[in-house]
């Protein structure tokens, strides 16, 4: 039996475990990346492990999320990351160099290699045939120290692309179509491989748009073959030597296969408040809009920007629309400026932002009250934009530009022929904003600078025998990490200050949650299906830990979040019978009988509702390693103990 692309990479990096879907496997990680909103924690954890130098082939720290700097906090964190990385052997991408995934794709990603990043959109690198996975900061810290990265061996899903994209239909429409078919849970426990004749017609940045949003499918990763298109991209980036050819074997076996006909695709939009709530732009056409934002790690490549510039050239953004544009990297920005396209954007009335995440993570540019915002981003979760009642739609750059000009939802295919935008044969290469680390023998010369915003990390405790507490919060299906630990301008500056951050925990769902949890000394949270989807932010586990949460009981969990819960010693249990969910209400006094035993080895425990006498069977299917970690009170305790 042959192998899929991902199976080949996994096989080459397998440290332990069997390559059988559902089994835990350990992988050697070649490269890591961090961004600033998760990086501070990751490097604090790396320091706590007491390892001098990173042991990966390459580790890069990016500054791209917390760039508004409305107080000293972000600047302090940036300085901390800059100094700690210089000391320990990590390259530092300075603020102004661009969004981690875009820069990594341009300058560092390599087909056939493994990459983990403390950001859920790390599978962007799959566009170049690299196995990129999002992970919690602690897992990245362990990998930087040369430790193994553990995942559940994924199933393999194949998406056959046939045909060719029509004018004004973009890569974003491809992934929105896949989201329409599979939904936000459709990729859980799987790696999505794209292929077919249609795939060959897509450029690396287009492929990266598609693999980037595999995160929204809940997939472990997404990947394209490495072929002539990949080679041309690497050559244009001056890195032809990084090319290797990579494709799946003819007799590779997939667990599921789907076909998407690119020729038949039309412009699509993900409607509020979920990336899989997809409709054709044509049916929304005419709806009044207030804001358009173009950029983010999904759609900020040079070709995206040039397409938008060509569509706006000589025209003016509609008076009722505010348009923001954030190019993905310094490379994109410089090339836009040098060819004059930046002037076309400015002239048309676009508000040009720095090359960073910006509005995507609620860092400014929040829409007006109840405003309709069209964004080329990847997430439209409730309140992520910073405006609680905003209506955010995810669209392609083509739909965004067309609508920015008319002031209403506009199907760009009604505009006639699209401008032709060619990928350059040579990108402008200048890595002057990537700082190299100091040589190992000189590392003592570096003093790591820590601002007052950096507070100690909460540490978990081993589980109690029988847990007796309150059901402190009950939430529904598809709870995202943006519900658990919101981002945005007011909250993000505190990513290294858990006590302060805790004031915002779950406030999107229940503004009294933090006070209640503190007053009661914590308790248990009850969730629905796909609990914790979205971001890799480990703060969605760390902060509940700080507030005294001992366990989360849910119908099912999202991959990165469940790993983060275990890393911080919060026990993730599933309801054996999902219908039992209805027998429990917020505020009920509950017991989990056999709590510690379930962690030690029994796969089951009993949840008892002391308010109405009802019971529910709970499951805890974990690997031996995960059990040890929970018994130690989390990964940090466990790693230190193992050393």
Name the residues that contact ligand SF4, by CB under 6 A: 65, 99, 119, 121, 296-297, 357, 360-361, 377-378
Q: Name which of ligand MIC, ligand SF4, none residue 547 binds, using a CB cut-off of 5 to 8 Å depending on partner kind.
A: none
Instruction: Name residues contacting ligand MIC, limited to 285-324 (CB under 6 A).
Output: none
DSSP run (H or E) holding 103: helix 100-107
Distance CA 313, CA 303 (A): 15
Q: Name which of ligand MIC, ligand SF4, none residue 38 binds, using a CB cut-off of 5 to 8 Å depending on partner kind.
A: ligand MIC
Task: Compute the C-alpha angle 31/36/39, nearest 5°.
Answer: 55
Give the chain's length. Answer: 643
Can residue 120 be called a binding residue for ligand MIC (CB under 6 A)?
yes
Q: Name which of ligand SF4, ligand MIC, none residue 387 binds, using a CB cut-off of 5 to 8 Å depending on partner kind.
A: none
In the complex, minimum distance from the CB of residue 340 to ligand SF4, in angstroms, rounded to a whole number? 26
Distance CA 363, CA 106 (A): 24
CB nearer ligand SF4, residue 328 or residue 523: 328
Can residue 78 be called a binding residue for ligand MIC (CB under 6 A)?
no
Q: Name which of ligand MIC, ligand SF4, none residue 536 binds, using a CB cut-off of 5 to 8 Å depending on partner kind.
A: ligand MIC
Instruction: Name residues contacting ligand MIC, limited to 148-207 (CB under 6 A).
Output: none
Can residue 344 be called a binding residue for ligand MIC (CB under 6 A)?
no
Contacting residue, 330, 537, 555, 561, with ligand MIC by CB under 6 A: 537
**Could you give the string, one character per residue 475-494, with x where binding to ligand MIC holds by CB under 6 A and - elsewhere?**
------------x-------
Q: Name which of ligand SF4, ligand MIC, none residue 207 binds, using a CB cut-off of 5 to 8 Å depending on partner kind.
A: none
Q: Name which of ligand SF4, ligand MIC, none residue 290 binds, using a CB cut-off of 5 to 8 Å depending on partner kind.
A: none
In the complex, minimum distance from the CB of residue 335 to ligand SF4, in angstroms, rounded to a whole number? 19
Q: How many CB atoms sit inside 10 A of residue 186's CB?
A: 20
Q: What is the CA radius of gyration of the chain?
A: 23
Task: Compute the C-alpha angle 59/62/68, nearest 5°.
Answer: 165
CB nearer ligand MIC, residue 361 or residue 529: 361
- 78, 43, 68: which is closest to 492 by C-alpha? 68
Can residue 538 be called a binding residue for ligand MIC (CB under 6 A)?
no
Distance CA 442, CA 306 (A): 44
Contacting residue, 77, 119, 411, 591, with ligand MIC by CB under 6 A: 119
What are φ and ψ of residue 614, in 5° steps? -75, 155
In the complex, minimum distance from the CB of residue 299 to ligand MIC, in angstroms, rounded to a whole number? 13
Contact 77, 450 (CB under 8 A): no
Distance CA 100, CA 98 (A): 6
CB nearer ligand SF4, residue 63 or residue 229: 63
CB nearer ligand SF4, residue 281 or residue 357: 357
Please tell me whether residue 258 adopts helix, strand or coil conformation. strand
Q: List the 14-16 sheet strands across, edge first.
A: 14-16, 24-27, 149-152
In the complex, minimum distance from the CB of residue 601 to ligand SF4, in angstroms, rounded to a whole number? 38
Joined together, the tokens standing for residue 320 give 């009722």
CB nearer ligand SF4, residue 121 or residue 318: 121
What are φ and ψ of residue 62, in 5° steps? -110, 150
CB nearer ligand MIC, residue 85 or residue 212: 212
CB nearer ligand SF4, residue 525 or residue 540: 540
CB nearer ligand SF4, residue 95 or residue 112: 95
- Please report where in the chains the tokens 């400026």 appear, as a residue: 337
> What ranges make up the beta strands (E) of 55-148?
58-62, 91-93, 114-117, 131-134
Q: Name which of ligand SF4, ligand MIC, none residue 296 binds, using a CB cut-off of 5 to 8 Å depending on partner kind.
A: ligand SF4
Task: Compute the C-alpha angle 100/335/108, nearest 5°.
Answer: 35
Distance CA 260, CA 404 (A): 28
């Amino acid at each position: 039996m042959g192998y899929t692309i991902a199976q080949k990479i996994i096989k080459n990096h397998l440290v332990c475990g069997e390559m059988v879907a559902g089994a835990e496997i350990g992988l050697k990680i070649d490269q890591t990346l961090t961004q600033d909103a998760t990086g501070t924690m990751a490097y604090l954890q790396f320091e706590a492990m007491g390892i001098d130098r990173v042991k990966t082939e390459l580790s890069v720290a990016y500054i791209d999320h917390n760039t508004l700097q409305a107080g000293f906090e972000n600047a302090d964190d940036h300085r901390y990351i800059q100094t700690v990385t210089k000391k320990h052997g990590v390259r530092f991408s300075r603020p102004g160099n661009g969004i981690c995934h875009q820069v990594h794709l341009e300058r560092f990603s390599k087909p056939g290699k493994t990459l983990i990043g403390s950001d859920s959109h790390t599978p962007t690198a799959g566009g170049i045939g690299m196995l990129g996975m999002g992970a919690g900061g602690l897992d990245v810290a362990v990998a930087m120290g040369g430790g193994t990265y553990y995942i559940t061996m994924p199933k393999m899903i194949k998406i056959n692309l046939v045909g060719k994209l029509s004018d004004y239909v973009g890569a974003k429409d491809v992934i929105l179509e896949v989201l329409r078919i599979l939904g936000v849970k459709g990729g859980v426990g799987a790696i999505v491989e794209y292929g077919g004749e249609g795939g060959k017609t897509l450029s690396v940045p287009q492929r990266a748009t598609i693999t980037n949003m595999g995160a929204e499918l809940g997939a472990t990763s997404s990947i394209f073959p490495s072929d002539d298109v990949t080679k041309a991209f690497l050559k244009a980036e001056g890195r032809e030597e990084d090319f290797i050819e990579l494709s799946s074997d003819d007799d590779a076996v997939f667990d599921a296969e789907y076909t998407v006909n690119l020729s038949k695709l039309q412009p699509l939009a993900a409607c509020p408040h979920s990336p899989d709530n997809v409709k054709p732009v044509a049916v929304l056409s005419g709806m009044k809009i207030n804001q358009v934002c173009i950029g983010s790690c999904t759609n900020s490549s040079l070709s995206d920007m040039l397409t938008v510039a060509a569509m706006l050239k000589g025209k003016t953004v509609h008076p009722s629309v505010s348009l923001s544009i954030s190019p993905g990297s310094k490379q994109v920005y410089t090339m836009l400026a040098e060819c004059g396209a930046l002037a076309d954007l400015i002239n048309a009335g676009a508000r040009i932002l720095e090359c960073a995440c910006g509005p995507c993570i609620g860092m400014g540019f929040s829409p007006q009250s109840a405003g309709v915002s069209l964004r080329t981003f990847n997430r439209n979760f409730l309140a992520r934009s910073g405006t609680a009642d905003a209506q955010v739609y995810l669209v392609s750059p083509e739909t965004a530009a067309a609508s920015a000009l008319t002031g209403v939802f506009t199907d760009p295919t009604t505009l006639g022929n699209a401008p032709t935008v060619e990928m350059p044969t040579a990108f402008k290469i200048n890595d002057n904003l990537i700082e190299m680390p100091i040589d190992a023998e000189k590392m003592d010369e570096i003093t790591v600078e820590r601002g007052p915003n950096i507070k100690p990390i909460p540490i978990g405790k081993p589980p109690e025998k029988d847990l007796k507490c309150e059901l402190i919060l009950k939430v529904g299906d598809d709870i995202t990490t943006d519900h658990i630990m919101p981002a945005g301008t007011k909250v993000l500056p505190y990513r290294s200050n858990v006590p302060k951050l805790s004031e915002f925990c779950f406030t999107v769902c229940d503004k009294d949650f933090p006070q209640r949890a503190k007053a009661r000394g914590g308790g248990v949270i009850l969730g629905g299906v796909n609990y914790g989807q979205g971001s890799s932010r480990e703060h969605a586990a760390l902060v509940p830990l700080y507030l005294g949460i001992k366990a989360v009981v849910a119908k099912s969990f999202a991959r990165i979040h469940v790993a983060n819960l275990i890393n911080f010693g919060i026990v993730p249990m599933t309801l054996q019978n999902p219908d039992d969910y209805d027998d429990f209400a917020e505020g009920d006094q509950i017991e989990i009988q056999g709590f510690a035993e379930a962690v030690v080895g029994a796969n089951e425990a009993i949840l008892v509702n002391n308010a109405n006498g009802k019971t529910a069977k709970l499951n805890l299917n974990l690997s031996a390693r995960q059990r040890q970690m929970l018994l130690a009170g989390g990964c940090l305790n466990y790693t230190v103990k193992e050393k």
